[in-house]
Structure 1
């Protein structure tokens, strides 16, 4: 795949150390986090500004010092408050990193098997977890010799503190069936957008992929993402264009057509409206 899919199956980090680290600020291709889901866990750490993020049907507003814990399979995405916002993301697979050790914890297994629901939002009042997460992110950014051992130890510590401080609730019943099924249907629409964004997708095709009537699909999609399906499709196309501008040498014209725009002028106009900058300038900024 030449692009990052909304059901992200991209390799994270190295084969022997599968952790992805992302520092995000203005002009990052994914500054406003597009709604997506993946089978890894994710930690988000707020550095500056504010960020409104949705996790399935829950919405949080983040400020500096806040930490978000996202387990596998959660549809998430959000919008920054201002251009000076900055945040960092750590994406990892606990089974690969933690189950390789000889020690096995039934409590850890309960977390990873979703027998427990982990608290998803921490702040500076959670002093121990906040300190460990800060060290974890700093080590990932610096990549000094031995950082892999420190990071793995810090991840164990995060899960250990979650267990020790009982930052979880036991799952006593299955999720509400209707809500669960709706989220699965939404993921199918995301998958179609990911697979076919270069084609002239219609509302009918998107709602059909989700198995919902166009009218109900529009209402549910907008409730979950705060965009209409077509608005979201165009945002996705621009996000993919950002990735290609930043990481490939394709011409702006080729990128426009490969991202579903059949008119270069309209692509430039839409890009500038969403990103506040021209495609050419965006490429220059990301090549510095």
Structure 2
């Protein structure tokens, strides 16, 4: 792993240049809209399909009684490239092979095989893989609290942000990798009692972090202007709630409390994507999930995910995934 300087540490350097770029691409308050009809919906699934459900802030991870979700992410996963998002749970990412470029609240890191990343609750993050295979464990830290109080202070300190776990854990650490492997093996096996093994491994991980004092001190978000992160989170939330409907640039700008011209530049400086590129990326991810977990027609899935023209849906899907929706569905189902 090596630290990468982030362009987002100097977002205002992009404003005029990106504003011109957005204007040239036709992203204006009057013309930039992302038309859609239909209502979004994904059928409830069980078993292997659960691994494809997303982990955005408004989606429950695991169940009420077992608030832990495990994802083995390969090139075929709908969320192979994670666009910017955040959630109230904590997350552990462990890279198995290749490289994973992770952004945490505007700071870039490059992870290689054997590297592990701990993402605190509320941190805006994204991940861009380079031929990477990685594991993601998303869990509610509050579920680790027990009645006997043993170890509760260490957990409570993390929950309250009194202590913030360092985002990049020691590279190649045998103990951390062994615990991650235990979580993977138990989750994939699913045998009776696997939940106890997973929860035990997470508790051991917190124990290792506590004993070695793997804390980063100041929260990443505290180092960055909350004047940037808070409006950005509001916009991401708006897109998550309205991706199936018509989304106007003016509405996004209003949600952020900015003028449309400034918002376009601001959004690009945060994500390296224009608003329409981000919205389309999110819609395609949703479409991938529906293609895998439902028998809904491709036309209806396109409508459900905000595309009112099937030709534009297929063209956009191919650009993001590298294949057509029909070919993607066939490939993923044959893999199962």
Instruction: Determine if the TM-score, normalized by the shorter chain, exceeds 0.5.
Output: yes
Q: How does 1:93-112 map to 2 (within 5 A)?
A: 93-112=140-159
Which moved further from structure 2: 150-159 or 94-103? 94-103
Gaps of 5+ in 2: 1-39, 43-52
Q: Residue 54 of structure 2 contacts residue 79 of structure 2 at CA under 8 Å; is this kept in 1?
A: no
- Candidates 135, 139, 147, aligned match of 2:186: 139
Report the CA distance shift for 1:248/1:95 in structure 2 as closer, same or farther (over 3 A). same
The aligned residue for residue 267 of structure 1 is 313
Q: Residue 6 of structure 1 contacts residue 191 of structure 1 at CA under 8 Å; is this kept in 2?
A: no
The aligned residue for residue 204 of structure 1 is 250
The alignment status of 1:239 with 2:288, answered yes or no, reads no
The alignment status of 1:119 with 2:162, answered yes or no, reads no
- Candidates 160, 180, 190, aligned match of 2:236: 190
The aligned residue for residue 11 of structure 1 is 60
The aligned residue for residue 259 of structure 2 is 213
Q: Residue 31 of structure 1 contacts residue 80 of structure 1 at CA under 8 Å; is this kept in 2?
A: yes
After TM superposition, where is structure 1 displaced by more than 6 Å over at least 4 residues in a row?
A: none
3-state SS of paired residue (2:126): strand
The aligned residue for residue 70 of structure 2 is 21
Q: Deviations over 1:15-59 (max 9, x none)?
A: 322211111112211111122111111111111221211111111
Instruction: State the 1:157 CA deviation.
Output: 1.1
Report the CA distance shift for 1:96/1:172 in structure 2 as closer, same or farther (over 3 A). closer
The alignment status of 1:53 with 2:102, answered yes or no, reads yes
Q: Residue 124 of structure 1 contacts residue 130 of structure 1 at CA under 8 Å; is this kept in 2?
A: no
Report the CA distance shift for 1:46/1:5 in structure 2 as closer, same or farther (over 3 A). closer
- State the Cα RMSD in Å: 2.3
In structure 2, what is the Cα distance between the partners aligned to 1:29 and 1:203? 26
Higher relative contact order (CA 8 A, sep 6+): 2
Q: Residue 114 of structure 1 contacts residue 171 of structure 1 at CA under 8 Å; is this kept in 2?
A: no
Instruction: State the 1:172 CA deviation.
Output: 9.5
Gaps of 5+ in 1: none
In structure 1, what is the Cα distance between the partners aligned to 2:251 and 2:287? 22
Q: Deviations over 1:136-162 (max 9, x none)?
A: 222222223332222222111111111
Instruction: State the 1:104 CA deviation.
Output: 4.4
3-state SS of paired residue (1:8): coil
Instruction: State the 1:126 CA deviation.
Output: 2.8
In structure 1, what is the Cα distance between the partners aligned to 2:264 and 2:55? 19
- Candidates 256, 264, 269, aligned match of 2:302: 256
Count of aligned pairs: 285
Instruction: State the 1:130 CA deviation.
Output: 2.6
